[in-house]
Amino acid sequence: MNIKKRLFWNKIYSLIILSCISFNLSAETKIAILEFELKDMTLAPRIPSEIKRTASIKPLLERELKSANYTIIEIDPESQKLANSGVGYLFDHHDVAAKLGKQFGADYILVGRLHKPSFLFSYFMGHLVRVSDAKLIGNYISEAKGPNIKLTIKTVESLTVKIDKTLDHQYTPPPPIKNKP
């Protein structure tokens, strides 16, 4: 094989190896997402539809982050319950949330809340904590106007964009769905 061909193939192999390494590095970001808590301040708190919507946020968020090559670390509800000393405790105590994330091998842990001050709108809130030093590195709020599933999905996508902006910049939200006439 002549030298020019050898150099050419060496460059090609180097590019392939670099591509694989960069892909693996981006796939290495491990994030744990806790079950979202409902903080319902309306006159009819904790109705079944709001409890159901709150429970849907975590799986929707996990799906979106997985689509951007994040590794999702599962923390079982019992472990979350044991670490939580009351409603809002993990949301306000980043050190305890980080300790929980460390137990399960996460790089980051997201503690979430659905804050509902009105029947007309609510806020999906998230605290992203870096596990290695228990620092709050992201404080996110995305507003949802109305309780239907399409708005919940869009609000989760908005939250995902914010989380990804703090981390790896890999997420591309799906295009808006156009209604048929």
**pLDDT at residue 112, as a whole number:** 97
Q: Nearest CA to 122 among 25, 18, 47?
A: 47
**pLDDT at residue 180, as a whole number:** 52
Say which residue the tokens 């590794």 belong to.
71
Number of domains comprising the chain? 1
Residues of the chain with pLDDT under 50: 26
Residue 102 inside a domain? The answer is yes
**pLDDT at residue 43, as a whole number:** 93
**pLDDT at residue 181, as a whole number:** 53
**pLDDT at residue 2, as a whole number:** 75
**pLDDT at residue 163, as a whole number:** 97
**pLDDT at residue 87, as a whole number:** 86
Residue 38 inside a domain? The answer is yes
C-alpha distances in Å from residue 60, one per residue of 15, 23, 55, 87: 35, 24, 9, 22
Which two structure tokens, joined as six digits, stand for 57?
């946020």
CATH number for 145: 3.40.50.10610
Residue 180 inside a domain? The answer is no
Cβ-based neighbour number of residue 119 at 10 Å: 13
Domain that holds residue 122: 29-166
